[in-house]
Structure 1
Amino acid sequence: MDDYNGKNIVITGGSNGFGLTTAQRFVDSGARVLITGRTQSTLDAARERLGSNAIAVRSDAAFIPDIEALANRVAAEFGLVDALFVNAGVTASAAFESTPEDMYDELFAINTKGPYFTVQRLAPLMREGAGVVLTTSVVNVKGLEMISAYAASKAALRSMTRSLARELLSRKVRVNAVSPGPIDTGILDRSMPAETAAAMKEQFRSANPMQRFGLSEEIAAAVEYLAFGATFSTGAEFPVDGGASQL
């Protein structure tokens, strides 16, 4: 890892999973990191774990007033931002025929609308040469049962990565995406019935070319590269999926 002393980094959805792992990676390298989440107790635990170089802000990724308040807080704390990891997201599963409207709306509000307006509001604070990283998913190129709405919300993010990369070229801000495959962060267990989650995890494991789940640390390493190392890349999606989208 590089030395990120003096760097300011914002991570939405940074209070757990690979968002938290990524925050830890940057804090350990000297950066100041602002993380967001929706649950205060989870944020408090993350803030305690990360230490004094971290700021934890309760923020709903789908609620525009919260996004505007976040931008104001970031401006007050940091002034300018060197990297933005837009990672807040949710998953949900249902057969296509029985997918309810409220599930569809929530998935798109949090996974698609939220990232769009987060980048919009924070772009004026991005330093020249800064990197934005969006979180897509292997499912945006795979036809899998039970997650059609979730997959569509992530496919929209893939398109957004290209569009925002073009829009922010004049500011010399790069926009790329990390595309995780099966990373066992616990989100399936938290968002699905136990039997469904277990079956889906076994399906992902057995179908993966590497026959395993990825590690949160592997996502964090990819985010670091896209945010800081990939200085001649923009509009790209980097898969961290054990080959699932390629083989």
Structure 2
Amino acid sequence: MIQINQLSKKYKGATDYSVYNLDLTVEEGEIFGLLGPNGAGKTTLISMLCSLLKPSSGSFTINGLDYHSHKNQLKRLIGIVPQEYALYPTLTAFENLTYFGSMYGLKGKSLRDTIQKQLEILGLTDFAQKKTKTFSGGMKRRLNLISGILHRPKVLFLDEPTVGVDVQSRTVIIDHLRKLNTDGTTIVYTSHHLNEAEQFCTRVAIIDHGIIICQGRPSELIANQHEIRHLEDLFLKLTGKAMRDHA
């Protein structure tokens, strides 16, 4: 589904590459986790794949479509759920979703029915006519997810989709993502919740300093390392325990 070849990104004025000569394949139907410390290159990589950032060099295809030649077609194939809330605070939940749905060419009864169904699944039906600035963090996360999946994307990019939410909201979000995956959506996901990633992802890649340092099924990666019990243990072994603050 996704084929990445020698992809690199160096920001203007930066000394180092944020992503460097990266090769990666994501198969159709996978839930693929991109894991790494702060500043490792995860969000930069996803931003390039979503056509939000122009690569410095290299190439990638999604569903066989090349970024250089089929940019608009690629955008119609993908859904994006960013780490920051992509919502208009003074609009209601229903108004937000109507707006985002219309950007994908959805309209009329079909769009209204889709919105109502998704609001019901994610427990937001009673708040459809409330302004999103009144929502809790977990409610905003769930609404953020709906806005990225209204058009039933073939590939869904998720950047920290459960950060800062309560256990109940996290459970609802993960369960819904599993259902979307079962229905045919390939998922690429970043998170600092490594226990969640261990249970959720079919495969993961750990990235640091813009380079993939290991990849595979979580259970196999753990089994192949001495005295490693969890994905978090492996993560710390490979990336170290030093703080990764950056601005």
Structures share fold, TM-score greater than 0.5: no
Q: TM-score, normalised by structure 2?
A: 0.32
Q: TM-score, normalised by structure 1?
A: 0.32
The structure that is strand-richer by fraction is 2
Whose RCO is larger (CA < 8 A, sep 6+)? 2
The structure number with the bigger radius of gyration is: 2
The structure that is helix-richer by fraction is 1
